[in-house]
Amino acid sequence: MTGATAAQWCAAAELGDVVLYDVIEGLPQGKALDLFEATPLAGVDARVRGTNRWEETAGSDVVVITAGSPRRPGMSRRDLLAVNHGVVAEVAARAVEHSPDAVFIVLTNPVDVMAYVVLRASGLPPARVVGQAGVLDSTRFRAFIAQELDVSVEDVTALVLGGHGDSMVPLVRLAQVGGVPLSELLPAETIARLVQRTRDGGAEIVGLLKTASAFYAPGAALCEMVAAVLRDKGRLLPAPAYLQGEYGLNGLYTGVPVLLGAGGVRRVVEVHLEPEERAAFLQSAAEVQASMAELPGAPC
């Protein structure tokens, strides 16, 4: 559902024409037709079509990868690694064959590792392969803060770094509501509860849906990143990016602030981390590295 939902958000924003690809005959065609038939009601001019042929995706400016198995109850994102590795590697190789100049945005979990798989399978420069996780994790944190304080979500800013999993690092110190630090608005124990709910955000939805994982918020987060690339916005967004010395790390993807625009990641932005924050961030990165070590042919 995430790919189709992302397509819906992107079409509604008139970001461009959308092609839905799937291996299941009729599925992308049916979803695309349904979505296209809604465009007159939405008042948008976006062509949406579905296909089982890679040739029809040729020349794409952005490729969004959501292929793979979703999480089931009791599964961690790491459990998905073996299942999704082969699927994502094949998708990346086929997609880049037909769209060699595209920016690739990866959603498939475990996303930090799958972004690395795409980088390796596609042969693209790191700037043109980025993951989607930090935007989602940050918006969940923002939503929970707004709900707790009964304030507009528009006034809440928050930043979540690290791997997309139980060890993600919501930077409480930088969270604000209308410019007021969160620590001045909520007691520490309440903030800790919101931080934990953010870490458990995906699992909470999986537990409720039983047979599926989240798709509305991830789709919206993907659309925000696609818009940043296609409109060359130069957005400062948290996202899994390939680190090459930043934060003292090399050769892995993990969530950090990036400047995102035409061509992908313009640069990784290094923010000051307090000792406790840095320790948590490095621990999260270590968990990503441990998962990467399980990939076939991984150098680590």
Inter-residue long-range contacts of 52-57, CB under 8 Å, 24+ positions, other chains counted: 52/21, 52/22, 52/23, 52/24, 52/25, 52/28, 54/21, 54/94, 54/95, 54/97, 54/98, 55/98, 56/19, 56/21, 57/19, 57/21, 57/95, 57/98, 57/99
Among 119, 149, 147, 148, CA closest to 131: 119
Q: Does the N-terminal peptide bond of residue 40 adopt cis geometry, omega within 30 degrees of 0?
A: no
Among 65, 83, 96, CA closest to 240: 65
User: Does 76 fall in a domain?
Assistant: yes
For the entire predicted model, the pTM comes to 0.94
Average pLDDT value for residue range 228-251:
97
- The whole-number pLDDT of residue 83 equals 81
User: Does 43 fall in a domain?
Assistant: yes
User: Does 170 fall in a domain?
Assistant: no
CB proximity list for 44: less than 8 A, separation 6 or greater: 11, 12, 13, 14
User: pLDDT tens for residues 131-151?
Assistant: 999 999 999 999 999 999 999
Decide if pLDDT at 2 tops 80: yes
Decide if pLDDT at 80 tops 90: no
User: Does 71 fall in a domain?
Assistant: yes
Give the domain extent around 29: 2-131
Catalytically active residues, by annotation:
164
User: pLDDT tens for residues 254-281?
Assistant: 999 999 999 999 999 999 999 999 999 9
Both structure tokens of 69: 């198995």
Q: Residue 95 sits in a domain of what CATH number?
A: 3.40.50.720
Q: How far apart are CA 144 and CA 132, in angstroms?
A: 20
DSSP alpha helix (H) spans, 99-239: 111-122, 134-149, 188-199, 201-209, 216-230
pLDDT band at 67 (very low <50, low <70, confident <90, very high): very high
Q: How far apart are CA 54 and CA 67, in angstroms?
A: 14
Both structure tokens of 219: 């789709």
The two beta strands, 62-65 and 103-106, are parallel
pLDDT band at 300 (very low <50, low <70, confident <90, very high): very low
CB proximity list for 41: less than 8 A, separation 6 or greater: none
User: Does 144 fall in a domain?
Assistant: no
H-helix or E-strand spanning residue 252: strand 250-261
User: Does 7 fall in a domain?
Assistant: yes
Calculate ∠ Cα 41-43-45, nearest 5°: 120
User: pLDDT tens for residues 158-205?
Assistant: 999 999 988 999 999 999 999 999 999 999 999 999 999 999 999 999
Q: How far apart are CA 22 and CA 3, in angstroms?
A: 10
- The whole-number pLDDT of residue 61 equals 98
Average pLDDT value for residue range 41-58:
96
Counting the structural domains of the chain, the total is 1
Per-residue burial over 239-266, b if 16 or more Cβ lie within 10 Å, else e, is bbbbbeebbebeebbbbbbbbbbeebbb
Decide if pLDDT at 72 tops 90: no
User: Does 122 fall in a domain?
Assistant: yes
User: Does 98 fall in a domain?
Assistant: yes
pLDDT band at 125 (very low <50, low <70, confident <90, very high): very high
Q: How far apart are CA 228 and CA 78, in angstroms?
A: 29
